[in-house]
């Protein structure tokens, strides 16, 4: 199975460890992974700022990077959702349609395509899970608290396979952390308040680590953690599933 | 108006912001519990959404049917194309009958039309009788929430306000005492009023009747005492059948406050003997919105306020930060219809977390509409073009070599500058957070060294 590794722009530049963990994890499960080296970004930072039309060349660059794979897998629910949901302004050529349907978030891919039931990973720590909104309410990786429904939690199920790891529950289980892309910059007061509130939820249940599917949300929280010297650390879920980097 | 600025002022008092957030979260939590007690909640939402979609698709037919049946019931039906006409119609009804005092139960439509100041300017005293509405009326403020208009005020502040206006004991803040003061005050107003005005929650085409939901019974007290009842509604409030109420009434109160039903669900079909019943149907931009496919669904709204209670931004910025009649996600998708430039910051006052969409009892894709408005707003700014930084970003992200160079430079800057400098230079990010640390090499560089074929 040929898997194209889709690494969000900011992960490529700022969090290569997350990309490496994703790559190694997929390789461990026998995927033929390759990283199209001319990929840049999916275009979401522009589109969410209202510049979807300006991002057309960026989307085209993305499409041309990923033309030859069976699946496109990314350690980011938000970027995946953007490709699936908002690439409707491109000409819907065969390859655009194929790429939109084959782009998957990492935990989703491990669950729905690779049907992973066991993991050789150990992480003897208490871990809080940040349910990033685009993964949760966009990709439906788990059950949103607003809905009255039963739905398996793909992230949680994978974390449960990691030996020694204990998931701690928080109040307001899926409240947004306040990142929101350019929102974090333009609505800084509210974004900061949301992030601090979310971290307080975690502090109350006292995990050593916060993990999740989206490094963007985690980087926002990490920035607040470091500013306030809080006793918390963040790790992308790929880093934990890949054996526990910490 | 500028939402980030207003929101920032709201957050200058973190304790207040936190209290506001927690108060509204409690309401959201009660809503969740109520929804979970209904086994078929999700199918109810779907049914409600489809009934509304159907009603909107045949709105002209249902409005005609409703009018015919309402007239046959003895209701006097008026049509208003906009807020001005609505206000003039209401004024004429009142003037023709020599009305001097009007008691009013909650109606977001009359807020939208700014009826109170209009009547006030024309010599008619308007008394809002919903407790929350009366509080904000006395405080000379607009409502900050559509279901809980005074949710931004603490009981101590209400105590002060009542002391100033209603002569209650100084320093009193016991909600029961304050409610009783308001009740005594309002009783006198109810008895003296010459006319009563209500909103409309649902109008039923097949019966020509309408339904008003309140928790305080103030609508009923008003209309049963006064000789004239005027009900005002937006044309989107029509539902086809009386049995459809069984869907909407089960959703409305649960979504709004977590109650199974509002305390009063009053059905009006015809005037009392010797009294008059007027109904004003208002367009005010609604038929134009009906023609805009991407925004049409917002007309399904039943004004429960759940999207406000759940919105993490609304909870931490307060209803007044939206500076429009309807705040929160709903307000942010409706206000730009009225004035896209003035309200251009509202669709950006969201993380697009999607909670509003999932909580909405009629399944309006609220965050999808926020996204769509963002595109429209930025396209509307095409004279000046997008901000230079965004243009540069678009240029860089479309070019792999430029992306690599810019990334390298960005990482270099982060590694070679102090946290203090970064805090000053990158204010938006730096006010609340540290910048991420920057590695020496990007993933791509690592990959080419470690994986790529030689």
- The CA distance from A172 to A159, in Å, is 20
Confidence label for A226 from pLDDT (cuts 50, 70 and 90)? very high
- Flag whether pLDDT at A198 surpasses 60: yes
Bridge partners, A167 (sequence order): A127
Indicate yes or no: CB of B436 within 8 angstroms of CB of A61: no
Interface of B with A in 179-208 (CB under 8 A): none
| B349-377 average pLDDT score | 98
ipTM score for this prediction:
0.97
- The answer to whether B352 contacts A54, with C-beta atoms less than 8 Å apart, is no
Region B297-302 average pLDDT = 98
Which residue does chain B place closest to A37, by CA atoms? B444
Which chain B residue shows the shortest CA-CA distance from A51? B375
Model confidence at A246, pLDDT cuts 50, 70, 90, reads very low
Residue B452 DSSP one-character state? S
Q: Identify the H or E element spanning A5.
A: strand A2-5
Q: How far apart are CA B33 and CA B401, in angstroms?
A: 53
What are the φ/ψ torsions at residue A50 (nearest 5 degrees)? 90, 10
Paired tokens of B6: 């207003």
Helix, strand, coil abundance in chain A, percent, nearest 5: 50, 15, 40
**Per-residue tokens: B148:** 């809980």
What are the residue boundaries of the structural domains of chain A, listed by start? Answer: 2-112, 126-241
DSSP per-residue codes, B311-374: -HHHHTT-GGGG-SSS-HHHHHHHHHHH-TTTTTTGGGSS----HHHHH-TT---HHHHHHHHH
- Beta carbons of A39 and A66 less than 8 angstroms apart: yes
**Mean pLDDT, all residues of chain A:** 96
User: What order do you get walking across the sheet with A71-74 strand by strand?
Assistant: A32-34, A2-5, A71-74, A103-105
Binding-face residues of A in 81-100 toward B, CB within 8 A: 86
Are the Cβ atoms of A14 and B438 closer than 8 angstroms? Answer: yes
Secondary-structure class of domain A126-241 per CATH: alpha beta
Which of B32, B35, B312 has the CB atom closest to A194's CB atom? Answer: B312
User: In this predicted model, what pLDDT tens digit does every residue of B164-201 receive, in sequence order?
Assistant: 999 999 999 999 999 999 999 999 999 999 999 999 99
Q: Which residues of B touch A171 (CB under 8 A)?
A: none
Cβ-based contacts under 8 A for chains A and B: 227
Quote the pTM value.
0.96
Provide CATH 3.40.50.10420 ranges for chain B.
44-153+194-287
pLDDT for A147-160, tens place per residue? 999 999 999 999 99
List all residues of chain A from 213 to 232 with a beta carbon under 8 Å from chain B.
219-220, 222-224, 226-227
**What pLDDT, in 10s, does the model give residues B301-314?**
999 999 999 999 99
B117 part of contact set with chain A, CB < 8 Å: no
Q: With beta carbons under 8 A apart, name residues in chain B contacting A223.
A: 429, 432-436
Q: What is the mean pLDDT of residues A83-104?
A: 96
In this prediction, residue B382 has a pLDDT band, given cuts at 50, 70 and 90, of low
Please give the full DSSP string across A109-162, using - where no structure is assigned: HHHHTS-------B--SEEEEE--HIIIIIS-SS--TTS------HHHHHHTTS
pLDDT, position B388: 85
Report d(CA B366, CA B329) in Å as an integer.
Answer: 7
Residue in B18, B25, B432 nearest the CB of A191: B432
Over 90: is that where the pLDDT of B129 sits?
yes
The mean of the pLDDT values for chain B is: 95
pLDDT > 70: percent of chain B = 99
Its CATH architecture, for the domain B44-153+194-287, is 3-Layer(aba) Sandwich (3.40)
Q: Which residues of B179-204 are buried (b: 16+ CB within 10 A; e: fewer)?
A: eebbeebbeebbeebbbbbbbbbbbb
Q: Tokens 């990490």, residue?
A: A222
């Amino acid at each position: 199975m040929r898997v194209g590794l889709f690494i969000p722009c900011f992960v490529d530049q700022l969090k290569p460890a997350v990309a490496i963990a994703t790559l190694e994890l997929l390789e461990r499960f026998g995927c033929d992974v390759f990283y199209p080296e001319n990929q840049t970004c999916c275009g979401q930072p522009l589109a969410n700022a209202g510049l979807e039309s300006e991002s057309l060349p960026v989307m085209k660059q993305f499409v041309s990077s990923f033309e030859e794979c069976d699946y496109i897998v990314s350690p980011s629910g938000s970027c995946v959702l953007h490709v699936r949901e908002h690439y409707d302004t491109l000409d819907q050529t065969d390859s655009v349609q194929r790429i939109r349907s084959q782009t998957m978030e990492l935990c989703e891919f491990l669950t729905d395509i690779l049907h992973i039931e066991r993991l050789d990973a150990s992480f003897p720590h208490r871990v809080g899970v940040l349910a990033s909104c685009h993964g949760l309410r966009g990709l439906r990786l788990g059950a949103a608290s607003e809905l009255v429904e039963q739905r398996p939690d793909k992230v949680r199920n994978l974390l449960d396979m990691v030996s020694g790891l204990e998931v701690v529950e928080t109040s307001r289980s899926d409240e947004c952390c306040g990142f929101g892309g350019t929102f974090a910059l333009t609505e800084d007061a509210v974004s900061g308040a949301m992030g601090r509130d979310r971290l307080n939820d975690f502090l109350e249940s006292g995990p050593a680590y916060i993990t999740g599917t989206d490094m963007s949300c985690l980087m926002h929280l990490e920035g607040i953690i470091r500013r306030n010297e809080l006793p918390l650390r963040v790790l992308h879920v790929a880093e934990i599933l890949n054996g526990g980097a910490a | 108006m500028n939402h980030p600025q207003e929101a920032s002022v709201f957050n200058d008092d973190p304790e207040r912001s936190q209290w506001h957030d927690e108060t509204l979260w409690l309401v959201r939590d009660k809503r969740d519990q109520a929804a979970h007690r209904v086994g078929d909640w999700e199918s109810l939402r779907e049914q409600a959404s489809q009934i509304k979609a159907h009603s909107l698709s045949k709105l002209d037919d249902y409005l005609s049917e409703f009018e015919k049946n309402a007239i046959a019931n003895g209701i006097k039906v008026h049509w208003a194309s906009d807020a001005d006409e609505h206000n003039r119609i209401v004024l004429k009804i009142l003037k023709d009958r020599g009305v001097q005092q009007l008691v009013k139960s909650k109606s977001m439509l009359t807020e939208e039309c700014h009826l109170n100041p209009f009547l006030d300017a024309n010599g008619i005293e308007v008394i809002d009788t919903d407790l929350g509405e009366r509080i904000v009326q006395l405080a000379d403020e607009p409502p900050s929430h559509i279901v809980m208009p005074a949710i931004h005020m603490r009981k101590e502040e209400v105590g002060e306000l009542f002391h100033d206006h209603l002569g209650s004991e100084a320093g009193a803040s016991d909600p029961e005492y304050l409610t009783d003061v308001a009740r005594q005050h309002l009783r006198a107003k109810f008895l003296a009023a010459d006319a009563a005005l209500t909103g409309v929650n649902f109008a039923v085409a097949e019966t020509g009747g309408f339904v008003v939901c309140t928790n305080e019974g103030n609508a009923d007290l008003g209309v049963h005492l006064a000789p004239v009842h005027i009900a005002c509604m937006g044309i989107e409030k029509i539902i086809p059948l009386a049995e459809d109420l069984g869907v909407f009434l089960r959703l409305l109160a649960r979504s709004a406050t977590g109650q199974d039903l509002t305390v009063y669900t009053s059905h009006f079909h015809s005037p009392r003997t010797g009294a008059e019943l007027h109904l004003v149907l208002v367009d005010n931009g609604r038929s134009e919105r009906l023609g805009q496919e991407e925004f049409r669904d917002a007309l399904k709204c039943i004004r429960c306020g759940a999207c406000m209670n759940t919105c993490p931004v609304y909870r931490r910025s307060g209803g007044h930060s939206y500076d429009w009649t309807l705040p929160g996600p709903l307000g942010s998708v409706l206000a730009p219809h009225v004035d896209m430039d003035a309200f251009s910051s509202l669709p950006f006052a969201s993380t697009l977390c999607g909670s509003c969409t999932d909580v909405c009892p009629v399944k309006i894709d609220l965050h999808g509409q926020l996204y769509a408005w963002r595109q429209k707003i930025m396209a509307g700014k095409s004279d000046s073009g997008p901000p230079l930084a965004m243009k540069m970003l678009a240029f860089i992200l479309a070019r792999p070599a430029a992306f690599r160079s810019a990334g390298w430079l960005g990482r270099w800057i982060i590694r070679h500058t102090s946290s203090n400098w970064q805090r000053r230079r990158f204010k938006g990010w730096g006010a609340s957070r540290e910048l991420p640390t920057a590695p020496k090499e990007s993933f791509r560089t690592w990959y080419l060294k470690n994986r790529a074929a030689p």
